[in-house]
Amino acid sequence: MSNYAYHHPNLWQMCTLFLGAIALVSCGNPVPTAVPMTRVPASTTPTVAQATQATPVTKQPIFGNVIPRPVSEIPSGGSFRLLAETGIYVEPETSEMRAIGQYFSDLINPSTGFTLKVQGTKGLPGKGNIYLTLTGAAPILGDEGYELTITPELVKVVANQPAGLFYGLQTIRQLLPAAVDSTSSQPGPWLIGAGTITDYPRYAWRGAMLDVARHFFSVRDVTHYIDLLAYYKINRLHLHLTDDQGWRIQINSWPNLVLYGGSLEVGGTPGGYYSQDDFEYIVNYAQLRYITIVPEIDVPSHTNAALASYPELACDGVAPELYTGTRVGFSSLCASKDITYKFMEDVIAEIAALTPGPYLHIGGDEAMSTNQVDYVNFFQRVQPIVEKFGKQVVGWEEIAQAKLLPAAIVQHWNLDKGFAAQALAQGAKFIMSPADKTYLDMKYQASTSLGQDWAGYINLETSYSWDPATEVNGITEKSILGIEAPLWTETVETMDDIEYMAFPRLPGYAEMGWTPQAKREWSEYKNRLAAHGPRLEVLDVHYYQSPEVTWP
């Protein structure tokens, strides 16, 4: 048998048995989630009878249906049983290593009732334990890869860097029964199929973007999203922090940006903003999950909220009204005024100081109200400011109209590939976010109540079945840093809405960022995704039950 059928019918039944009973899940999140108790309509939850008959996959499940699909999986038969006495041994015993072990211990505590003890070790621990080590990893694993060896005696994860161990633990989480992610006590048994997984990512940039400007989302919503991203080994969360409808990050030197410019959102409802403490909390929360926050200040257009707060930034010096509609491209900072660059310098200095990650995104999209000369001059002056404060420039592909700094990263989104070609000619590295393939705000189909359709409908197959390296002529693997799935929130108002648009497309993007192209095939993936339905339900994710998938 070439593919190992790791499938315990009794475990499967066990997981589904609890679906109806599960109330609230926070993925180890110390902040309670803001999500309501039950969000999947009762009629879509399988009955126990249906669930026990249903075959969750039509092909054989591959080592527990892990998403993203690992590079190599060699099953060996048998299983490891997690018990209350299981210890988590880390080597070397650093605070970061202990934090990774503790994260896993805390994560599985509510469902298993176990309080797995985290301790240091030098060399193999005894039988019945989990061993996380940075000793002896193969170079091919790189900075994010891991090798996971499961025998009935031991679970061993070896990596070159702590991030790899964190990803190895996410894989273990997916190899355990879905009920492990429940917030209520579950009976187990907690078995992990035995075998070896060798795994490392295709791309360094595996991103999601959340627009917190059109509609504002609380710290709790953002950390909840971060937990879901971590489950699928996504390592960048790009926060679109400013737009015409709201400025959402406190800037001490320009206080009105949030006090006035952050007061509303699309539709005219109250907006909100992150204090600098809030933002640091988010950044730290993400960092503990090996996710880098990429803050975006979208300029020179998409700035109505800033202009309304500080009219001196407009060429005519007149404050516009706050804007709560959904048009784009009508606002612009004044590229020919010196105060604009003082403003940019102050904002970039504060954001850079709050951000441990190396990137600062400066937008640049849809500047229809900035003339070409001004636009080019603006980015000629703003890019060096970003570098002066120690950050690497990221921008939407329009910024390639300016001469790019050698380290600038360009985000491809436009259906028109002209700017991408200009960026390519300058030797830029790309984040691939083609709107017709990766925009999480596009409707799944005509009847989807949320979302837009200007880039087309994006059903699951469309979202999954493309290769970033053949998407744009000339943009090949060596120019691609990775992929990112943006969620624009003109129509997205609640955490439920976020989950509905992101799931289940997001796991597919996570796989596209991680798994070699040769191991990705829709007809196989859709069965693996089906097996994640019960997992998403235990996690209380309000996902779209697409008819393209035979959900169990």
Output DSSP code: residue 422: H
In the chain, what is the greatest distance between 2 CA atoms, to the nearest angstrom?
Answer: 74
Residue with the two structure tokens 């015993």: 93
C-beta of 368 vs 373, nearer to ligand TNX: 368
In the block, tokens 């679970």 appear at 155
Query: Restricting to residues 179-198, which ones interact with ligand TNX according to CB under 6 A?
Result: none
Task: Say how many C-beta atoms besides its own lie within 10 A of residue 318's C-beta.
Answer: 8
Report the residue from 91, 181, 221, 441 that binds ligand TNX according to the rule CB under 6 A: 441
Sheet holding 146-150, edge to edge: 72-82, 190-199, 146-150, 154-158, 129-133, 87-91, 117-120
Instruction: Please indicate whether residue 511 is annotated as part of the active site.
Output: no
| Among 287, 142, 289, 138, CA closest to 201 | 142
Q: Could you give the count of Cα atoms lying within 13 Å of 149 in the half-sphere of its Cβ?
A: 10
Which residues, other chains included, contact 343 with Cβ-Cβ below 8 Å and sequence gap of 6+?
A: 254, 306, 310, 313, 333
Among 279, 488, 543, 551, binds ligand TNX (CB under 6 A): 488
Per-residue contact string for residues 338-377; x = within reach of ligand TNX by CB under 6 A = ---------------------------xx-----------
- Do strands 429-432 and 409-412 pair parallel, antiparallel, or not at all (unpaired)? parallel
- Report the distance separating Cα 120 and Cα 123, nearest Å: 10
Nearer to ligand TNX, 227 or 490 (CB): 490
Residues touching ligand TNX, count (CB under 6 A): 10
User: Exactly one of 345, 366, 387, 548 is catalytic; which is it?
Assistant: 366
| One character per residue 373-402, x = contact with ligand TNX (rule: CB under 6 A) | -----------------------x------
Distance of closest approach, residue 311 Cβ to ligand TNX, in angstroms:
23
CA distances, 61 to each of 3, 66, 179, 457 (Å)? 8, 9, 18, 29
Q: Nearer Cβ to ligand TNX, position 181 or 365?
A: 365
Instruction: Give residues with Cβ within 8 angstroms of 478, minimum separation 6.
Output: none
Output the smallest distance, CB 64 to ligand TNX, in A.
36
Among 287, 377, 426, 452, binds ligand TNX (CB under 6 A): 452
**Between 133 and 411, whose beta carbon lies closer to ligand TNX?**
411
Whole-number minimum distance, CB 185 to ligand TNX, in Å? 43
Closest to ligand TNX by CB, 278 vs 366, is 366
Task: Assign 512 to helix, strand or coil.
Answer: helix
Q: What is the DSSP string of 144-208?
A: T-EEEEE-SSEEEEE-SSHHHHHHHHHHHHHHS-GGGG-SS-----EEEEEEEEEE--S-SEEEE
Q: Of 290-349, which residues contact ligand TNX (CB under 6 A)? A: 328
Q: Is 413 in the site for ligand TNX (CB under 6 A)?
A: yes
Residue placing its CB nearer to ligand TNX in the complex, 159 or 333: 333
Structure tokens given for 25: 């899940």
Q: What 8-state DSSP symbol labels residue 405?
A: P
Complex with ligand TNX: residue 152 or 456, whichever CB lies closer: 456
Contacts with ligand TNX by CB under 6 A lie at: 328, 365-366, 396, 413, 439, 441, 452, 488, 490
| Catalytic residue numbers, as ranges | 366
